[in-house]
């Protein structure tokens, strides 16, 4: 069965500092991996996804994530945090074998200090 | 309107009431989803419809009854709910093709409070 673990329900960084949000997954088959962001009073919005090919994936707003199969990880990074990055971030996994089931992590709320 | 819309945005209901949540997508997608988002818990997939056919029912209590009359509309009918059903209910849709490959497009959610 698939599962997703996001380490840290809250992460606080200073503006301009590196953002690192951690995600580990469990899947018995090759996974598709996603990061979504949720701003207050809004639905989730896709930041980036990994399906196949290059393991370093670039997304919107300067975010990127690296798929590391040996570590079963898909951590999200951004070199320099902006105040507008403050939001909740969700890692998600679905199976290559098909179906419509995507498993989401519990989310990490990012705080950005001025 | 564009994207995924949900109405109402806020709903307060008693445990004996019957109400419905509505979701509409104008993206030409074929798959539609209901999720429950509770504080400090992962998003819980409730139901999935693909081309109006239900493909997932994640052991959801029968007091939640979905309806998908066409690929653009999805409803969640609610009756005799419990206070623990209070949550943000999110609707999403995804494009044609392999479901698990595609990103999902989310609506803003309906904030439900059960008294």
Q: Of B91, B90, B64, nearest to B76 (Cα)?
A: B64
Looking at per-residue pLDDT, the higher value among B92 and A41 belongs to B92
Q: Cα–Cα distances in Å, from A99 out to A70, B1, B8, B49? A: 25, 29, 29, 11
pLDDT in tens, B50-92: 888 888 888 899 999 999 999 999 999 999 999 999 999 999 9
Is residue A106 within 8 Å of residue A9, measured between CB atoms? yes
When pLDDT is cut at 50, 70 and 90, the band that residue A1 belongs to is: confident
Say whether A99 and B99 touch across the interface (CB within 8 A). yes
Q: What is the pLDDT at residue B1?
A: 52
pLDDT beyond 70 at A91: yes
pLDDT beyond 60 at A73: yes
pLDDT in tens, A78-90: 999 999 999 999 9
What's the average model confidence in pLDDT over A2-30? 93
Query: Sheet of B64-70: strands edge to edge?
Result: B4-7, B18-25, B73-79, B64-70
What's the average model confidence in pLDDT over A22-46? 91
Q: What is the pLDDT at residue B98?
A: 67
Q: What is the pLDDT at residue B41?
A: 85
When pLDDT is cut at 50, 70 and 90, the band that residue A22 belongs to is: very high
- Give A28: exposed, middle or buried? Use CB within 10 Å, 0-12, 13-18, 19+: exposed
Say whether A100 and B48 touch across the interface (CB within 8 A). yes
Say whether A94 and B101 touch across the interface (CB within 8 A). yes
Instruction: Please indicate if any CB of chain B lies within 8 Å of the CB of A44.
Output: yes
Nearest to A49 among B45, B56, B103 (CB): B103
When pLDDT is cut at 50, 70 and 90, the band that residue A98 belongs to is: low
Mean pLDDT is lowest, of A20-24, A99-103, B85-89, B104-108, for: A99-103
pLDDT in tens, B1-17: 569 999 999 999 998 88
Two tokens at B115?
């008294």
Say whether A43 and B90 touch across the interface (CB within 8 A). yes
Q: What is the pLDDT at residue B57?
A: 86
Which of B33, B74, B90, B102 to mutate: most A Cβ within 10 Å? B102
């Amino acid at each position: 069965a698939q599962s997703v673990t996001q380490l840290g329900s809250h992460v606080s960084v200073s503006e301009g500092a590196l953002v690192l949000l951690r995600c580990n997954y469990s899947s018995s088959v090759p996974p598709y991996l996603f990061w979504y962001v949720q701003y207050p009073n809004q639905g989730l919005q896709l930041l980036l996804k990994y399906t196949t090919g290059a393991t370093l994936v670039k997304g919107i707003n300067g975010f990127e994530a690296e798929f590391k199969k040996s570590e079963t990880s898909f951590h999200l990074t951004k070199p320099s945090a902006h105040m507008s990055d403050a939001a909740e971030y969700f890692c998600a996994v679905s199976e290559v074998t098909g179906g419509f089931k995507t498993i989401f992590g519990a989310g990490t709320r990012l705080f950005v200090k001025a | 309107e564009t994207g995924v819309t949900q109405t109402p945005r806020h709903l307060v209901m008693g445990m004996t009431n019957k109400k419905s949540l509505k979701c509409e997508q104008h993206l030409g997608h074929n798959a539609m989803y209901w999720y429950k988002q509770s504080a400090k818990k992962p998003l819980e997939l409730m139901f999935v419809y693909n081309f109006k056919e239900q493909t997932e029912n994640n052991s959801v209590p029968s007091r939640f009854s979905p309806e998908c009359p066409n690929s653009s509309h999805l409803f969640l009918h609610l009756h005799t709910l419990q206070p623990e059903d209070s949550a943000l209910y999110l609707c999403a849709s995804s494009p044609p093709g392999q479901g698990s490959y595609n990103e999902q497009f989310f609506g803003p959610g309906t904030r439900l409070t059960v008294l």
